[in-house]
Amino acid sequence: MPGVRLFFLILIGFLSTSHLDAQEPESRSVTVLFDVDRTEISQEYKNLLRSTILDIGFGNIREIHIEGHTDSDHSDEYNLDLSKRRAQETRQFLLSQGVKEHLIFTSAFGESSPFSDDKSENRRSVVRFVFSDMESVPLHPVWLKLHVTDAHTGKAIQADYTFEFFSKLKSGQTDRKGIAFLPFQPGRGGQFLIASSRGYLNERADLSAAERSSSYDTVDIFVQLHRVQVVKKLSFRNIYFHTDSDSLKPESKPELEKLLATLKFYPDMYIEIQGHMNYPSSRGMPPYQQIFNYNLSYKRARRIYTYLIDNGIARERLTYKGLSNSRMVYPDPKSRAEEDANKRVEIWTLRKLPAPGSKSP
């Protein structure tokens, strides 16, 4: 049934087509070569893997099989371990590019399957992409190259980002040069990117250039962040959400109206909205729970942000972030009341800082 298959494709990755006629899968292999006793993937092979993913299309990938291999130097035990690490390094790179974890399968062969008499050609991982070729797809995925800088100095900022696509979230961090690569599907709408860094106002990226792209080229996206200084925390105690949801409870309305009135009374006030979650640190947190908690804390903060904008507060005065359970009031809650205290939204007032060298107002 096309509807069921469409739902499945949305779950496994970015959707690259709405044309879902049944067809036999195809495959394509890419060989990644390594230096002696090394597992690092060179930039040349990273570019090759990245371009292959874009050419196939995220939504078309059904499976990816990675084989790790070595030359015949060293012992069988050492080579088997090295081949495992090469396969895992390749897997990690694919995950960093947005490929879904459950699509990737790895295996290690050590020196047991030589490809050539030339040892350099045996130090490899072989990546086989299994995919459905949707020739009728009019839209091509592109790469966003995110650049984050200080709005006044122009210097690069290592920043966090949250990318919202089709009601899903992907979070990450730029490198020290303020750069990150993200896959993007032009023409589908519903895609937003928020950049943030400690001491700065959040900024929403303008993705219009990427939306207009009709090629596989990388699209540069520039985001400038403005410095702010934290002034104090505002107390709004009764902002509650339904369990495991960003839907506000009715009893939150009076506190939200109080916050709205405060911002309207002080038109020069900037605020940061922080979403917090509860999860006792003594229990540890499995990876899936880490993702869920961060995403939900982010969505709850965004819900307040959206409420304020819908009620006339300028977007430029607001910044928001999800902090998961990183700042719990009670690190090891002993009661339901202490757990509820951890599930909160905090509002911090900010002062926008002037450009270096200019006079403060």
- How many domains, in total, are found in the chain? 3
pLDDT above 90: residue 166: no
Q: What is the pLDDT of residue 129?
A: 92
Q: What is the pLDDT of residue 124?
A: 95
Section 154-175 average pLDDT:
83
Does residue 206 lie in a domain region? Answer: yes
Shared domain for 28 and 78, answered yes or no, is yes
DSSP readout, 170-211? EEEE--TTSEEEEEE-TT---EEEEEE-TTB--EE---HHHH
Section 333-357 average pLDDT:
75
Q: The domain spanning residue 306 has which CATH number?
A: 3.30.1330.60
Banded pLDDT at 358 (limits 50, 70, 90): low
Q: Which residue has the higher pLDDT, 82 or 202?
A: 82
Q: DSSP assignment, residue 120?
A: G
Domain ends where: 204, 225, 246? 225
Shared domain for 28 and 84, answered yes or no, is yes
Shared domain for 97 and 157, answered yes or no, is no
Shared domain for 8 and 96, answered yes or no, is yes
Within 13 Å and on the Cβ side, how many CA atoms surround 54?
23
Give the residue numbers spanning the domain of 6.
Answer: 2-131
Shared domain for 200 and 126, answered yes or no, is no
Q: Which residue has the higher pLDDT, 242 or 23?
A: 242
pLDDT above 50: residue 2: no
Q: What is the pLDDT of residue 255?
A: 86
Q: What is the pLDDT of residue 188?
A: 61
pLDDT above 80: residue 324: no
| 253-257, 274-278, 285-289, 341-345: the lowest-pLDDT one | 285-289
pLDDT above 50: residue 342: yes
Does residue 360 lie in a domain region? Answer: no
Shared domain for 244 and 340, answered yes or no, is yes
- What pTM did the predictor assign? 0.50
Shared domain for 55 and 92, answered yes or no, is yes
Q: The domain spanning residue 195 has which CATH number?
A: 2.60.40.1120
Q: What is the pLDDT of residue 350?
A: 81
Q: What is the pLDDT of residue 249?
A: 78
Q: Between the CA of residue 295 and those of 55, 230, 259, 333, 340, what are the distances in Å?
A: 30, 24, 24, 22, 18
Q: DSSP assignment, residue 248?
A: B
Q: Which residue has the higher pLDDT, 1 or 120?
A: 120
Asked whether 13 and 129 are in contact (CB, 8 A), the reply is: no
Mean pLDDT of the residues in the chain: 80
pLDDT above 90: residue 83: yes
CA dist 191 and 331 (Å) reads 35
Shared domain for 213 and 237, answered yes or no, is no
pLDDT per position as a tens digit, 210-265:
877 766 678 899 999 988 887 887 766 677 777 677 787 787 888 888 889 988 98
Shared domain for 151 and 210, answered yes or no, is yes
Q: What is the pLDDT of residue 71?
A: 93
Q: Is the dihedral of CA 305, 263, 345, 196 positive or negative?
A: positive
Interstrand relation of 203-204 and 218-225 (parallel, antiparallel or unpaired):
unpaired
Shared domain for 283 and 327, answered yes or no, is yes
pLDDT above 90: residue 156: yes
Q: What is the pLDDT of residue 280?
A: 61
CA dist 317 and 356 (Å) reads 20
Shared domain for 335 and 247, answered yes or no, is yes
pLDDT above 90: residue 333: no
pLDDT above 70: residue 38: yes
Does residue 358 lie in a domain region? Answer: no
Q: What is the pLDDT of residue 355?
A: 65
Q: What is the pLDDT of residue 139?
A: 52
pLDDT above 70: residue 81: yes
Domain ends where: 98, 131, 164? 131
Domain ends where: 131, 166, 184? 131
DSSP readout, 66-108? EEE---S-S-HHHHHHHHHHHHHHHHHHHHHTT--GGGEEEEE
